[in-house]
Amino acid sequence: MKITLDNAKCQGHGRCYALAPDVFDSDDEGYAVLRLADGVVPTELESAAQLAADNCPEYAITVER
Ligand code: F3S
């Protein structure tokens, strides 16, 4: 699974880093930062990453399988 964060769409709702703290971090202003350098999600984090994508109100997170 690969995950992409569109920083232009992120409005800082914070659900992603609350639901998947190993996949997302927040910057100083509360916007999401992807913790995975190349966006490739380890198997054990896939369900959390999918949950975060499903719960972003701005559809800023895209999942590729
Ligand atoms: Fe941003 Fe969506 Fe996360 S708006 S902080 S990517 S829940």
Is residue 17 pLDDT above 90, yes or no?
Answer: yes
Is residue 37 pLDDT above 90, yes or no?
Answer: no
Give me the chain's average pLDDT, please.
97
Q: Which two tokens stand for residue 15?
A: 């659900």
pLDDT of residue 48: 98
58 Cβ inside 6 Å of ligand 1: yes
pLDDT of residue 20: 98
Q: What single letter denotes the amino acid at residue 17?
A: Y
Ligand 1 atom closest to the CA of 55, numbered from 1: 7
Give the residue, 17 or 37, on which the prediction is more confident.
17
34 Cβ inside 6 Å of ligand 1: no
DSSP assignment of 1-65: -EEEE-TTT-----HHHHH-TTTEEE-TTS-EEESSTT-BPPGGGHHHHHHHHHH-TT--EEEE-
CB 39 within 8 Å of CB 30: no
Is residue 56 pLDDT above 90, yes or no?
Answer: yes
Nearest CA to ligand 1 atom 2: 56
Ligand 1 atom closest to the CA of 11, numbered from 1: 4
